[in-house]
Structure 1
Amino acid sequence: MKILATDYDNTLKRKKVTKQDLAAIDKFRREGNKFGIVTGRSINMIKTSLNYFHVKYDFIVGINGGIILDDQNNILDYHLFDYQTALAIIGDLYDLNNDICGFCDGIRYTRLAFKKKPFNFIRAFVLGLRASRRRKILKTEKIASFFILNDNPDQVKRVYDHFTNHYDNISVFLNGNDIVDISAKDVSKSAAVKFIADYYRADKVYTIGDSMNDIDMITAFNGFAVSTAEDEIKEVAEAVFNDFKELIDYIDNDQSDKHLWKGK
């Protein structure tokens, strides 16, 4: 059995998810393989988009590996911040001048800041940013991820450097040119895919992405990049594909041992 784990934004969804890609994924799954999404989004945010584009899946990895669900919404793995660390991060985020930032429990998210710029309203709609009440999440003391969005690349770097340099018990990810994601320590997309590979007892594992927060799962599994990926991703990718039909055709005919799951 083969596993295909893909990033979502700008990888599977590039403006939209095409009917050709959906058909290729459906064929892949009907042949007894497992297909899933590995994203920086929270579960509610990614499900909103998957439902809109009619994407069927066997698993979802949310918040860069912080939470894993199967297709029946069972939580397979879940990583939370130490609550005092989470409160310290919230304090830092209030001091930093971000366009949009917030946190989530893995499923729901809430905002800490939202500058009322026209593009921010568009971005919130596209990403499915439907906020829960902050107090509801804080009351549970379950915080699994933070996200920060900024239009200014210098501010993005400042935020990334701040959390990378001031904390040694968290994981910090650059997601494209305008997003920083923060998760609990040792959380990563590659660790989540390894969990999935063991859980489903995979024979072969394939990964694909486009951005810096995908690089660990690409290098760990000799993975791939989409043709619109950042140059740094293409440089480390085993191959570059234009769409998922092309990718899955390759997987169907792959006779190499490059993608054998070593955990078997």
Structure 2
Amino acid sequence: MKLFASDYDGTLFKDRIIREDDLHSIRKFREQGHKFGLVSGRSIDSLKTEIEKHDIPVDFIVGINGGAVETGEGEQLFIRMMETDIAHELIEAVENFGVKFYGANDGYRLSRVYCSDDVDDCFKPNINLVPMDIMLDEGVSAMYVWVGDEDRAQTLANMITEQYGDRGIIAYPNVHSVDIGIKGISKSTGLEMIIDHYNVDDTVYTIGDSFNDVPMIKDFHGFVMENGVDEVKAYGKAVHETVGYALNAVLKDIQ
């Protein structure tokens, strides 16, 4: 049994749509007895909303860059929270830097604070929001920041990692945004839990488009999207235009 893990935004969900050809290739891959799932910076609940909306067939979900892991049947395999004081300090640092909006999640629910009126509707959350003070009181697993500029996103990610790295925090630039999580947790570590759970003993394929995908691209048989970040493409075994094309290439190789 092989396993294929796809990033969501910019990868399977590309140009704000999911291609029917991609869904067909996913179904074909699973029909041959293999596992397919999503590995994303989004929360679990946000991914589940997308899965239901687009009827995406999945066997597992890895959310918030490895910070929350579930089987396709909804069994929780992993969740981890930040220290409360660090979460408060990160919010202050982000606000002082100046961003479009920022948010936090507990692996499932979302909170968000808008710092600008200039926010595209496409970034509106697909699930109900929890007030930030409640999220901070009950526990934060990861944070996300929309900067709106690739260079500033890189600068903010570097700043956070430098200032909070020795306290167990890491930040990834993700095109125009920044994902902030717990050091030692990544899409790759989340996938390892799925591999152990399903006793996968064959090739694990991954595909993504940005820096938060690098761990799983490097650690497994990784592909990179054609529309992906150029620096990330250096880590992939191949570059593909769509998830469907990557899946079809895998199916052709294993026939």
**TM-score, normalisation: structure 2:** 0.91
Unpaired runs of 5+ residues, structure 1, are 256-264
Q: Distance in 2 between matches of 1:51 and 1:195?
A: 24
1:235 and 2:234 equivalent? yes
Q: SS where residue 55 of structure 1 aligns?
A: coil
Contact 2:99 2:147 in 1 (8 A): yes
Q: SS where residue 236 of structure 1 aligns?
A: coil
**TM-score, normalisation: structure 1:** 0.88
Contact 1:68 1:77 in 2 (8 A): yes
Deviations 1:202-257 (A, max 9, x none): 122101111111111111113111222222222221112222332222222335xx
Unpaired runs of 5+ residues, structure 2, are none
Q: Distance in 1 between matches of 2:122 and 2:223?
A: 27
Q: Distance in 1 between matches of 2:82 and 2:238?
A: 36
The aligned residue for residue 252 of structure 1 is: 251
- The offset of 1:163, in angstroms, is 0.5
Structure 2 CA distance for partners of 1:6 and 1:171, relative to 1, 3 Å: same
1:185 and 2:183 equivalent? yes
1:6 and 2:3 equivalent? no
Q: Distance in 2 between matches of 1:158 and 1:242?
A: 29
Contact 2:150 2:177 in 1 (8 A): no
1:51 and 2:48 equivalent? no
Aligned pairs, how many?
Answer: 251
- The offset of 1:139, in angstroms, is 2.8
Structure 2 CA distance for partners of 1:94 and 1:67, relative to 1, 3 Å: same
Q: What root-mean-square deviation, in Å, do the aligned CA atoms of Structure 1 and Structure 2 show? A: 1.9
Contact 1:156 1:179 in 2 (8 A): yes
The aligned residue for residue 159 of structure 1 is: 156
Q: Distance in 2 between matches of 1:218 and 1:124?
A: 26
Q: Distance in 1 between matches of 2:80 and 2:105?
A: 12
Structure 2 CA distance for partners of 1:152 and 1:211, relative to 1, 3 Å: closer
Q: Distance in 2 between matches of 1:161 and 1:171?
A: 9
1:210 and 2:212 equivalent? no
Q: Distance in 2 between matches of 1:61 and 1:55?
A: 14
Q: Distance in 2 between matches of 1:211 and 1:152?
A: 14
- The offset of 1:113, in angstroms, is 3.3
Contact 1:102 1:148 in 2 (8 A): yes
Structure 2 CA distance for partners of 1:234 and 1:138, relative to 1, 3 Å: closer
Deviations 1:4-39 (A, max 9, x none): 001111111112111111111011112221111011
1:144 and 2:145 equivalent? no
